[in-house]
Structure 1
Amino acid sequence: MADRKIGSQTIKFNKPPSIIGTGTVVGPKEGIGPLKDYFDLIINDDLYSEKSWEKAERKMLKEASEMAIKNSKIPFANIEYFISGDLLNQIISSAFTARELGSPFLGIYGACSTIAEGMGLGAILIDGGYADNLLVATSSHFCTAERQFRFPLELGNQRPPTAQWTVTGAGAAVVSSDIKNPRITYFTFGKIIDMGEVDSNSMGTAMAPAAVDTMIRHFQDTGRTPDYYDLIVTGDLSSIGKDVAEDLMKQKGYDISNNYTDCGIMIYNNKQDVHSGGSGCACAATVTCGYLFKQMLEKKYNRVLLVATGALLSTTSSQQGETIPCIAYALSLENL
């Protein structure tokens, strides 16, 4: 009997796993943003002394992972699994990092929702008694994402106002059976939501309905209301997608305007030229593993609902005229 499942899409953890250590690495642009003091390492250049942007991204992911383990104060040998994914073809940043770390590896792909998907799956393993300590991580890089999904940077293409800026960075967290705060109390799976959007320069608009669907399902499954949480934060809808999500929630009878924001808005300031805001796997990951984790340790937030969003398109699907399938996963993070 599935005694931990409540409602149609939510897992309630009997022994809520803890986040006992995190690590974050960000690029130069993120390092001058409003959350700069919450990141563990700010690199000086996008190449990070490597020969390619892809190698730089891999290096950031490895270092964030090692920082998370160090900050958790447990031996590296105690990490039983490594759960990771990224935006690059065949999740090469994660796979090559797993090669270096040497831990049993579970490679996942949730696009920009990867940190929430990974933490949720990790919490299931911990709560189910299949592990005591595991590492969850993800990364992205503005230059690698632009090269793969849009245009070579050398072309200098103009970006429309709806475009977002892929966060250069990596975030990692050690999830454990140790009883410490903050803890993962609920995990709500998402469903693929596709409203027919085809513009890869308007990801926030495409992903907002998926975020709304998962939030509503979370509230229905748990019986909670938006005001239960000190903060509700989506992963990377940024300014345009956030407004769409807020309006759609209000149409469904949920007012989240008093305690809702988005990681893509938080990570940059208004003076930085990022158009509608931040995106990428590292957007939710660095804000969660940096700012949110440290704020919860200080008990400035005690109940946070993280709703990380992902657009599951590829260059092939876009070139063939496919619409953009989107997903969102919700994690309830609480100090108990």
Structure 2
Amino acid sequence: MTTQTGKQSITFEKPPWIISSGCVAGTKEAEGPIGHEIDLVGEDDNFGCDIWEEAESTLQKEALTIALGKAGLKAEELRYLFAGDLLGQSMATSFGLQQFDLPLFGLYGACSTAGESLALAAMTVSAGYANLAGAVTSSHFASAEKQFRFPLEYANQRPLCTTWTVTGAGAFVLGRDRYKTENRCKSGLEKEECTKTQGVQQKECKGEACCDVCITGITPGKIVDYGVRDSMNMGAAMAPAAAACIAAHLEDFSRSPSYYDKIITGDLGAVGREILIELLQQKNIDIGSCHTDCGLEIFDNERQGTGSGGSGCGCAAVTMSAHFLPMMRRGELKRVLFVPTGALLSKISFNEGENVPGIAHAVVLEVLENR
């Protein structure tokens, strides 16, 4: 029930619905512009754990628990999980999700994992291999710094082009059919909780006012390497991949950027966004008026001292779950191109002097009210 579209895209003839989502984040994220929209914020970034990696596992566990709770689902009702993180052997995912006792596809797409997990879950659900599937991803500032850069105790000065790894996790539940119960609105929330959790303001949520969101297509990205070797400048490493993926998507679907209310990249930050805009302009593609970046939405760079913005697997996942998906449910956005971006380096490749290739995956989210 899918159609190959163009050179590398897929159109879903039976689009899977985003039944619910949940997100958890740290204290710095809570202080940012969308902090009030995050489902659960830890009292501190340890989340009651002794080590950073265990804390990140807790992020994933809590995010999926919230998403399931919003939909009124039990974990065993999900057929598959698609999940990943930034750590070696995807240990945050392995230790965080094992208690759910579900078949797991462990993923590594660096910071593009939110897009990769949504794309693969959407393919699985649309094709009929699962009625319900989950997509989960996370990152943690301290665990990422420990693995990829410096021990926190080193207290090095960070270049202005550096992005700040988000401490957070996002989980999404996808289904073949709209999920409805007597006491729940279309978003999967208890009606009395909808105002608080989805951010509906100045009007009463009556259930039917919430819009249903589905994934109508995807454009998996290719690895793009422009020779960037600076691990402190992830925006420059990832922007070429984002530009290539967006250009391929628009060509495959024969669309212009104006088709979308928003084109949302994952974590390019301020530096990466400038490069992305310029690279697409060279292809006569102008996304300046409709583009934003999750790394610019989740932090106030000047006030919070985050350099170029936010990054990490949790950046795109939390921002989509907490901010943009509720906007779509409220009808403020109808069509969104979600393009999480990733830098495919490891601590070994960096220390051996290798380039930092990038990758991006595009996911089309649309409000479809009459299907």
Pair in the same fold by TM > 0.5: yes
* Partners of 1:307 and 1:5 in 2: CA distance: 19
Match among 182, 186, 208 for residue 213 of structure 2: 182
TM-superposed CA distance for 1:290, in Å, is 1.3
Instruction: Name the residue aligned to 2:335.
Output: 303
Could you list the structure 1 runs, at least 4 aligned residues long, displaced by more than 6 angstroms after superposition.
none
Give the partner amino acid of 1:11. I
SS in 2 for 1:285: helix
- Following superposition, the deviation at residue 100 of structure 1 comes to 1.2
- Look up the match of 1:219: 250
1:283 maps to: 315
How far apart, CA to CA, are the structure 2 residues paired with 1:118 and 1:47? 26
Distance, in Å, in 2 between the alignment partners of 1:112 and 1:43 is 22
Code of the aligned partner of 2:309: G
In 1, Cα distance between equivalents of 2:37 and 2:361? 24
Q: 1:324 matched to which residue of 2?
A: 356
| Deviation digits for residues 256-277 of structure 1 (CA, Å, limit 9, x no counterpart) | 1111010000001130110000
Matched, 1:315 2:314: no
State the shift of 1:97 in Å.
2.0
208, 225, 230: which is aligned to 1:194? 225
Deviation of 1:178 after TM superposition, in Å, equals 1.3
Work out the CA distance in 2 between the residues paired with 1:274 and 1:44. 20
What's the secondary structure of 2:230's corresponding residue?
Answer: coil
Residue 112 of structure 1 aligns to a residue whose secondary structure is coil
Displacement after TM superposition at 1:3 (Å): 5.8
Could you say what secondary structure the match of 2:322 adopts?
helix
Does residue 244 of structure 1 match 2:309? Answer: no
Q: Secondary structure at the match of 2:250?
A: helix
Deviation at 1:201, TM superposition (A): 0.2
Distance (Å, rounded) in 1 between the aligned partners of 2:173 and 2:38: 16
| Structure 2 CA distance for aligned equivalents of residues 33 and 101 of structure 1 | 31
Alignment-derived partner of residue 265 in structure 1: 296
Counterpart code for 2:120: L
- How many aligned residue pairs are there? 335
| SS of equivalent residue, structure 1 residue 49 | coil
**2:154 matched residue in structure 1:** 155
Q: CA deviation at 1:139?
A: 0.4
> Which residue does the alignment assign to 1:12?
11
Q: Paired residue for 1:75?
A: 74
2:142 corresponds to which residue? 143
Distance 2:125 2:296 in 1: 32
8 Å contact 2:134–2:171 — kept in the other structure?
yes
Contact 1:38–1:294 under 8 Å retained in 2: no
Structure 2 residue 25 is matched with structure 1 residue 26: yes
Partner of residue 93, structure 2: 94
Q: What's the CA shift string for 1:168-210, capped at 9, x where partnerless? A: 0100000111137210001001000000000000000110000
> What RMSD, in angstroms, separates the aligned Cα atoms of the two structures?
1.0
Are 2:334 and 1:335 aligned?
Answer: no
Residue range with higher mean Cα deviation, 177-186 or 163-172:
177-186
Aligned equivalents of 1:149, 1:273: Cα separation in 2? 20
Q: Please tell me the residue identity of whatever aligns with 2:335.
A: R
Which segment drifts farther, 174-183 or 226-235?
Answer: 174-183
Q: Could you say which residue in structure 2 is the equivalent of 1:233?
A: 264
* Letter matched to residue 212 of structure 1: A
Q: Does the aligned pair in 1 maintain the 2:2–2:13 contact within 8 Å?
A: no
SS in 1 for 2:359: strand
Tell me, yes or no, if the aligned pair for 1:83 and 1:105 is still in contact at 8 Å. yes
Determine if contact 1:312/1:325 at 8 Å carries over to the other structure.
yes
Contact 1:79 1:134 (C-alpha < 8 Å) held by counterparts: yes
Aligned to 2:287: 256
Write out per-residue CA displacement over residues 35-78 of structure 1, whole angstroms, 9 at most, x where no aligned residue: 01221001121111210111111111100011111112223221
Structure 1 unaligned residues grouped into runs of 5+: none
Distance 1:54 1:256 in 2: 37
Aligned partners of 1:164, 1:76: CA distance in 2, in Å? 34
Q: Tell me the SS of whatever aligns to 1:174.
A: strand
Partner-residue secondary structure (3-state), 1:135: strand
For the 8 Å contact 1:219–1:225, the answer to whether it is kept is yes
TM-score scaled by length of structure 2: 0.89
Report the Cα distance in structure 2 between the residues aligned to 1:36 and 1:87, rounded to whole angstroms. 23
Q: Unpaired segments of 5 or more residues in structure 2? A: 179-185, 187-211
| 1:111 counterpart SS class | coil
2:284 counterpart letter in structure 1? G
Separation (CA, whole Å) in 2 of partners of 1:74 and 1:155: 44
What is the rounded CA distance, in whole Å, between the counterparts of 1:329 and 1:117 in structure 2? 6
Percent identical pairs in the alignment equals 45
Query: How far apart are 1:332 and its partner, in Å?
Result: 0.5
Secondary structure at 1:29 match in 2: helix
In structure 2, what residue type is equivalent to 1:300?
E
Q: Deviations over 1:224-246 (max 9, x none)?
A: 11000000110000000001101
